[in-house]
Amino acid sequence: MRTVFVRIRFAAAALLLGAVLAVAAQAAPSGQPAKAIFRDLNAAEIAVLEGGRAVVRTVRDPKKLALILPGAEADALRSRIASLKPNYATEVIATIGVKSEVEASILLERLAAALADVKGYVGIRYYSTRQKTDYDLFDKMDITARTKAAGGETIEVVQHMEPFDDFGARYEYRLIDSAALSFFGSNLGPIVYSYQNFKAVNPGNMVWGLYAFRDGDRLVFYGIGGVKAFDMLGIFRDRLEASFMGRVTAFFTAMSEKLR
C-alpha cells in the first residue's frame, strides 16, 4: 500500500512539474538571446533593455558595432559605418515586446510614418551637455524632393541645426516586409560651423542608420549615427562631439519611443 502511495505522490509531482514548465515556457520570451544579436552588452545594459528603456553606447571601433546579427540589411548598415571610418559614433538600442506578427507590423508602420514625417524632426528636443539646456534637434526642415521607392521613400531636404549653416540631406526609409524596417540618412552638402566659419564635415560624412526587426515576441531597434568630422586637430572635439552625438541620441531615442 505504501508503495502505491509513493507512486501516486511521484506521479502527481511529475504532473505538477510538467504544468509549471509548460507555463514557464509560455511566459518566457521567444527569440534569440541578446548576446546572439548584440555583442559586449554588460549586465547593466541588458537590465536597461529588459526594463523597457533604450541603451546608448559610444562606439570606439566602427568595425565592432554591437549589432552582430547576420543578414543583408545588418551587413549593409555595418558596411556603411565601417567604410565611413567616423571619429564620433553612437549606438541606440531598444527592445519592445509584441504579441503577434500583426502587432509588430502595426508598430513598424507607425515607425515608418514617423521617419517619413521629416518636418516632425524639428519638434524633437535634445539636451546640450555643454550648454546645460534643451534645444531643437533641427530648427528648419524644408523638403526639396520626395521620391517613392519600394516599401518607402527617398526624401531630400535643406535643414538647419545650430551651431551650423544650412545644409542638404537625404533620408531613405523602407519597410522590408511586415517584420523589418531600414532607414538611412546622410548629408548632401558640407556642414559648416557658423561661428568659426570652417567646414566641419564633408558631404556624405554624417550618416544615421536604423534597422528595426521582429525577433520572436519583441521588436529589436538598433540605431547608429556616425560622423567623420574635422575638429581642428581636437580643438573643437568636445564641442562637435557633444553636438553631433547628442543629436544622434535624441533622434533615435525619440524614434524608439514611437514603438511603445
Per-residue pLDDT of the chain (260 residues; tens, 9 = 90+): 444 433 434 344 333 333 323 332 333 345 566 657 999 999 999 999 988 899 999 998 988 999 999 999 999 999 999 999 998 999 999 999 999 999 999 999 999 999 999 999 998 998 877 777 888 889 999 999 999 998 999 999 999 998 899 999 999 999 998 899 999 999 999 999 887 788 889 999 999 999 999 999 999 999 999 999 886 655 566 666 777 888 899 999 999 998 88
Give per-residue burial for 99-136: e unless 16+ CB within 10 Å, then b.
Answer: eeeeebbebbeebbebbbebeebeebebeeeeeeeebb
pLDDT of residue 203: 97
pLDDT of residue 123: 85
